[in-house]
Structure 1
Amino acid sequence: AVRKKKNSSMSVSVDLVKTGDADAVVSAGNTGAAVAAATIKLRLLDGVERAGIVTQLPNEFGVCNVTDTGANPDAKPRHLVGYAVMASILARSVYGKPMPKVGVMSNGSEDEKGTDFTKGTFCLLKHLEERGALPFKFVGNVEGHDLFEHEIDVALTDGFTGNVLLKTCEATAKAFGKWLKEELQANPLRMMGAACASGAFRAMKARLSADSVGGSPLLGVRGVTIIAHGSSTPVAIRNALRVSMEMVQQGVNPFIEEEMARLGTIPEVSEVYPK
């Protein structure tokens, strides 16, 4: 798509960022094409090995930034360390978290839980934490329910798992809304009760709606790239533009390069914990 469709809106928009005529691109097109165009044309920031998509999920304390949600399905533990640095800077700069709390998605909160991949990520982050090299607070392993119930600012996972998680949450929210509406319309008495609680329902819908975020930043590329949903509403596009503006104004990318330079080369797991 990038090679053959040079005059597509996506390619032209990314080219405008590359030449400096624009600071950011917001795309509601194909996610894979958006990632490819931004990565190939804009290139990666200094010190970044893989770009990652960050998606915001609402929780009790604001939002939880889940990364990666689709850019890199075959990630390595050291890639997730890079995601942690980038997403923590987003949480700090845009969402006002001075010391973001970062966890690794696993099937249990105990240190020994998880696959070789998640255990490797845990070990690398623990090693860097002991060296005092992390610009965030590492809280260890976190489970799915922690994303909504506890103050987790960044949850780390590979692009395959993150994309499945994201789409499952979206489908669950839609199904719950549909079932609730059906039950409330089942008889006149319930409809009267629903009318009395209409304000609460509107507030809950706004809180759960992805429109309030607008789109998911692709962190790690030069320039700001926001990937919006293909079915985005005008409100969602407006908020995606707002987030892109905030990322430019807060200097997210320069902060990423600064922190990645301070962190240095991220080691392989075998270099830190040889078998």
Structure 2
Amino acid sequence: MRSGAFMTKHHPPNLADTDLTQRLAKREYFDQLAELQAKLAQIQQAFLFHELKGVIVFEGWDAAGKGGTIRRISQALDPRSFKVWPIGAPRNYYLNRHYLLRFWERLPPSGAISAFDRSWYGRVLVERIEKLTPEKRWRAAYQEINDFERMLVDDGTRIVKLFFHISPDEQMRRFTERLTNPLKRWKLTYEDFRNREKWGDAEIAVDEMLARTSTKKAPWHVIPANNKKYARIKAMSAVVDALSKDVDLNPQHLDRQTLDAADKALDVDQSLIDSLRARTE
């Protein structure tokens, strides 16, 4: 498929259209959280059985709630086939190679789901904003990223891309909370304040990223994140919808050999064994 075809008939989101006033009540949050976590467990089992692959990309402002959402997703999944990759500055080995290499190496095998806490989009965000990469190279990255994601989708990988958006005032409130809470203080760094000084440049970079890399097969979801509960549910809903689409989430069938062994070894109602045999046959 040509890259142009990959980009057609899709209207990318932007920051200005995001309603940051969205909120969710505590009771409703916990009800929806339990439902979504149960669905994620079903999805993981289906991915293992059908040998599917999933990638979840987390981007967003500092203190926007990416980590909290990743924790709620991780709670629902077996770590044997779910991996979180925290992405920081590349070490020298990767600095001397194409920037996509370290992401190729971390893509999930069949049956697994990988979450990237920051991602290959650093090329058109932090590397652009901090002038770590020549303009010619980061501009070329839009097409490189679209081609990269197209190849993943064509190979059977499902991609969910989330950008957590908060207001500058809300970010400052969360920085204050991190400073005053000893258990959260480790999250606050000098870089957080440096990055705030370039908020305007970052907004421009984010909106161009959304416009250039939100495609029909790999769209961006901008998550209104001023309210953490709302953001978690919104993000997890996007993950569940994307990973479960057209996937049979019913429990997998046991093979005949396993059922024969269970029939001999386990003291269970014979009707259960018979019903499972019927599904297998």
**TM-score clears 0.5:** no
TM-score normalised by length of structure 1 = 0.27
Structure 1 or 2: more helix by fraction:
2
TM-score normalised by length of structure 2 = 0.27
The higher relative CO (CA closer than 8 Å, separation ≥ 6) is in 2
Greater Cα radius of gyration, structure 1 or 2: 2
